[in-house]
Amino acid sequence: MSPKDLLIASIVILAWGVNFVVIKLGLHGVPPMLLGALRFALAAVPALFVKRPQIPLRWLFAYGLTISLGQFALLFYGMYVGMPAGLASLVLQAQAFFTLVFASMFLGERIRAANVAGLVIAAAGLALIGMRGGHAMTVTGFLFTLAAAAMWALGNIATKRMGKVDLLSLVVWGSLIPPLPFLVLSLIFEGPARIEASLAHIPLVSVLAILYLAFVATIVGYSLWGKLLARYPAGSVAPFSLLVPVIGLASAAAFLGEALSAAQIAGAALVMAGLAVNVFGARFMQRILPTTR
């Protein structure tokens, strides 16, 4: 990868890692479902200028209802009820393992030994984090974040079924789907009075957070990531996503003062190790084992 593209990858990982701190700041002034509605309403604006992806509408809706609506409704609510930003960035990476399981169930893809080993290691880390929440994390927040990871994985399966598709176009047009359902959820669970009060007295930090989530994390992040995927094999680009929780944990500690317990640090290390085994394990085994003919 060229130095320029390494810089692009670094910008994307930084944008996505800091994203969790931004969500937490945005939730200080706007309730979660309303935050989702505002984020995707803005993220959908470029659909005026971006061509619709050449896929059946059912797959566009499948993407919008899973990755866009399902993932972020669960993630925003999980963070709202007590999931720290740093741990959220880590636990959400369980999507990699949910994707493996769902791909096996729905697409008939084979799960390899390295995938199983990575899954077991990461599951142990997630269990340790979940059992040792303490005052810094609620069990409800943890479970909702884990559910968000499952919704992301379902969206990955939908994306696989689409075949080759322009990622930026998919993200932009997929953003047209969540605003109305988010608004309905906000009306039901947050109420018209709270919506009105939130919009009338929205703090500047929440406004900036919404702009960041819509344009930096969504439009800029996915457009740059799509360019990298177009230039290089997915296996060369995907490992960079392992750095997202590293940035997430570091930025949460720096900007929000989040501190992890010893058990949570151990759990985080296990999750990262499991992700690394899942990504690199098969290649490592091919190198150390002799080739049989």
Selection from 18, 155, 143, 152 nearest residue 78 by Cα = 143
Per-residue pLDDT of the chain (293 residues; tens, 9 = 90+): 788 888 998 999 999 999 999 999 999 999 999 999 999 999 999 999 999 999 999 999 999 999 999 999 999 999 999 999 999 999 998 888 888 889 889 888 888 888 888 888 988 888 878 776 555 788 899 999 999 999 999 998 998 888 888 888 999 999 999 999 999 999 999 999 999 999 999 999 999 999 999 999 999 988 898 788 778 776 667 677 778 888 999 999 999 998 877 888 888 888 888 888 877 766 666 666 555 44
d(C-alpha 278, C-alpha 115), whole Å: 5
d(C-alpha 11, C-alpha 57), whole Å: 32
- The token pair at 139 is 């069990």
- The token pair at 71 is 């993932």
Looking at residue 27, what is its pLDDT?
Answer: 96
What backbone torsions phi and psi does residue 80 show, to the nearest 5 degrees?
Answer: -65, -35
Instruction: Calculate the CA 41 to chain-centre distance.
Output: 18
Contacts of 99 (CB under 8 A, 6+ apart): 152, 153, 156, 157
